Amino acid sequence: MTKSRLFRLWLVLGSVFTVLLIIAYWDSVGTAHSYLRTPFSRPQPLEPRPSPADKEGEASVDDFLEKLLGASTKNIVPGRKTEQPPPASSRPAPGSMEESVRGYDWSSRDAPQGPDLAGRQAERRSVLRDFCANASFVFPAKERSFDDIPNYELNHLIVDDRHGVIYCYVPKVACTNWKRVMIVLSQSLLDRGAPYRDPLDIPREHVHNSSTHLTFNKFWRRYGKLSRHLMKVKLQKYTKFLFVRDPFVRLISAFRSKFELENEDFYRRFAVPMLRTYANRTSLPASVSEAFGAGLKVSFRNFIQYLLDPRTEKLAPFNEHWRQVHRLCHPCQIEYDFVGKLETLDQDAAQLLRLLKVDQRLHFPPSYRNRTASSWEEDWFARIPLAWRRQLYKLYEADFVLFGYPKPENLLRD
């Protein structure tokens, strides 16, 4: 064997040994490092941190790993997809049933600035921190650490490495359009070979395709034992946001969207069991269209019974459309930099895009206004027994308290 071959073999073996040492060190020492065992997302100013890619000469953790492990950028960095979805209109036709029930309003309007938006954000984040730190306020899973959260519960945290942003999406809180914004920012989907630039050009079916987004639960497959370490690094460096809404109004919106529209999947998975268990229906049509034609629909009362039935969660966790926000986004384990609300969507969306420094080239889609309003609560809950309403409040109390929504006393008193 020639000297050059021996030299190359020595280099290869040395590189492999170095990689193994680094992985072993990060696995045994890195996660036990003191700053990672303390609250890892310290209070931060709302000014977003620039993405590592924006700093010339400064490599990100991902870049370091890619170079060290010899991985191709196309295989590691999210959003380098080559599929070209067919053109499709993502806006429902005016006057359609979908528009009526979902409550779309595509009219364009400028978001008002409003008084002291920074102060409002500071107050929301303060309320969240205070109740998370309040030992007398207890709810399931509050006290666990970030390390205790299983990977499958991190599937709502969408990561954009290009701009250093993490978004926790909450169904029924304008998440379709926020996912569109994240696709534009991360360039994770192409149209005829080029990234989308207008969020509303992205077809709805692609928006909710899980393969479109890089989420925390996918880190294990990409990074193995380094995944938790990388999550914590990104949680410290990136700007984290979520949007919420009144919990009872969100429930009404979820019911209208999934059970008043013909949805084959939700009919078979949820409506059929609800009708059998709570409406005493034994023989049910095989398809949702047949059921609707025969006047067989889940009532709001049936839906509430289903949520309150202790057998429901013994079979499976709540579906994401009615799962509590604190179970989707873990606000006591992750300290969010921005807490938006659907009730102030126009102002909050404009403020957030300014803070992310993308407002000059990207605008939140024209206001999505779901017509499920707080004023409707009394009508929707009129036929729900008082005892059930009180049980339901206890089920969603943590969301009311953490996100500053007043207790609906008018629904809970005699």
| Amino acid found at 275 | L
pLDDT per position as a tens digit, 145-185: 999 999 999 999 999 999 999 999 999 999 999 999 999 99
Diameter of the chain measured on Cα atoms: 92
| Residue found by looking up tokens 């040395």 in the block | 14
Q: How far from each other are the two terminal CA atoms of the chain, in whole angstroms?
A: 91
* Nearest one of 45, 129, 130 to 337, comparing CA atoms: 45
**What DSSP letter does each residue of 139-181 carry, written as one string?**
-TTTT--GGGS-GGGGTTEEEETTTTEEEE--TTSSHHHHHHH
3-state secondary structure of 190: strand
pLDDT per position as a tens digit, 3-62: 566 666 666 565 545 444 444 444 333 333 322 222 333 334 444 444 444 444 444 545
Q: What's residue 369's pLDDT? A: 56
Distances (CA, A) of 381 to 77, 257, 280, 395: 47, 17, 22, 16
**CB proximity list for 281: less than 8 A, separation 6 or greater:** 275, 296
* Nearest one of 306, 301, 298, 305 to 267, comparing CA atoms: 298
CB-count burial class (<10 Å; 0-12, 13-18, 19+) for 337: buried
3-state secondary structure of 79: coil
Report the alpha-carbon distance of residue 72 to residue 63 in Å, rounded. Answer: 10
Report the alpha-carbon distance of residue 373 to residue 355 in Å, rounded. Answer: 29
Report the alpha-carbon distance of residue 214 to residue 188 in Å, rounded. Answer: 9
Q: What's residue 234's pLDDT? A: 98
Report the alpha-carbon distance of residue 241 to residue 234 in Å, rounded. Answer: 13
Q: 162 — phi, psi (to 5°)?
A: -65, -35
3-state secondary structure of 242: strand
Q: What's the pTM?
A: 0.77
Q: What's residue 14's pLDDT? A: 56
Report the alpha-carbon distance of residue 304 to residue 389 in Å, rounded. Answer: 9
Instruction: Show pLDDT as tens, one digit a residue, over the chain (414 residues).
Output: 555 666 666 665 655 454 444 444 443 333 333 222 223 333 344 444 444 444 444 445 455 544 443 333 333 333 333 334 434 444 444 334 443 444 433 333 344 445 589 999 999 999 999 999 999 999 999 999 999 999 999 999 999 999 999 999 999 999 999 999 999 999 999 988 999 999 999 999 999 999 999 999 999 999 999 999 999 999 999 999 999 999 999 999 999 999 999 999 999 999 999 999 999 999 999 999 999 999 999 999 999 999 999 999 999 999 999 999 999 999 999 999 999 999 999 999 999 999 999 999 899 987 555 555 667 788 999 999 999 999 999 999 999 999 999 999 999 997
pLDDT per position as a tens digit, 257-275: 999 999 999 999 999 999 9
Report the alpha-carbon distance of residue 297 to residue 133 in Å, rounded. Answer: 43
Q: What's residue 365's pLDDT? A: 87
CB-count burial class (<10 Å; 0-12, 13-18, 19+) for 95: exposed
Identify the DSSP state of 241.
E
